Amino acid sequence: MSQPDSPSQSAHRPGQLAVAVGALLVAAVLAYGATDISSDSGYAGVGPNFMPWVISGALAICGVMLLWEVWSGGYRNMPEPSGSARGDWRSLAWVSAGVLLNASLITTIGFILSCALCFVLAVRGLRASEGKPAGSLQQTVKDAVIGIVISAPVFWLFTKVLAVNLPGITASGWI
C-alpha cells in the first residue's frame, strides 16, 4: 500500500488545483489587459505598461509554482485549518457593511468620516467573530475616535503631501 504523500500519487485537494489554475487565469487576464496599454517610453525608458507586465509575469510564475506543487503531491506539511467549522455570517455582515458603507458614503460625508465608520463596523464584526461582546456605546465612541485618529493623517498625507484629491467635508482640504 503506497503512502498518500508520495509524489507519484496525487494527494492534493481539488481546491489546491483551483488556486493554481486561478492564479494562472488572473495572470493571463492581466497580461491581456497590458496589451491595451500604451508602451511609449516615459522616464528612464519605462512605459506605463511596464508594471502590469511585471505583475502578470510574477503572478504567472507563482501560478506555475503552485501547479507544480499540486502535481508533485499537494501542499505538504500544512497544519490543519484553525477556527470554526462554520463561517460566522453575522461577523461577515458587519465587516461587509463597513466596507460597502465606506464606498457609498465617501463622497457624501468625506474620507475621514467614512473610513472611521468603516473602522467602527469592521472592529465590531471582528470582536463578534472572537466571541467577545460587539461593543457598548462607550466602546463604539472609542472606536470612532480611533478611526478618526487613523484616517485623518492618511487623508492629510494624500491630499497635502502627495496632492491626491480625496473627498473631504469642507472646501479647505483639512477635513
| Run means of pLDDT, 10 residues per run, the chain, 175 residues | 45 83 96 85 71 93 94 80 77 94 91 94 91 85 95 88 75 58
- Integer Cα distance of 57 and 65 in angstroms: 12
For the chain, the domains span 14-71, 89-161
Are the beta carbons of 73 and 7 closer than 8 angstroms? yes
pLDDT of residue 173: 55
How many CB atoms neighbour CB 167 within 10 A?
Answer: 15
Spatial CA neighbour of 60 closest among 15, 18, 17, 23:
23
Spatial CA neighbour of 125 closest among 153, 155, 87:
87
SS (H, E, C) the chain: CCCCCCCCCCCCCHHHHHHHHHHHHHHHHHHHHHCCCCCCCCHHHCCCCHHHHHHHHHHHHHHHHHHHHHHCCCCCCCCCCCCCCCCCHHHHHHHHHHHHHHHHHHHHHCHHHHHHHHHHHHHHHHHHHCCCCCCCHHHHHHHHHHHHHHHHHHHHHHHHHCCCCCCCCCCCCCC
pLDDT of residue 170: 63
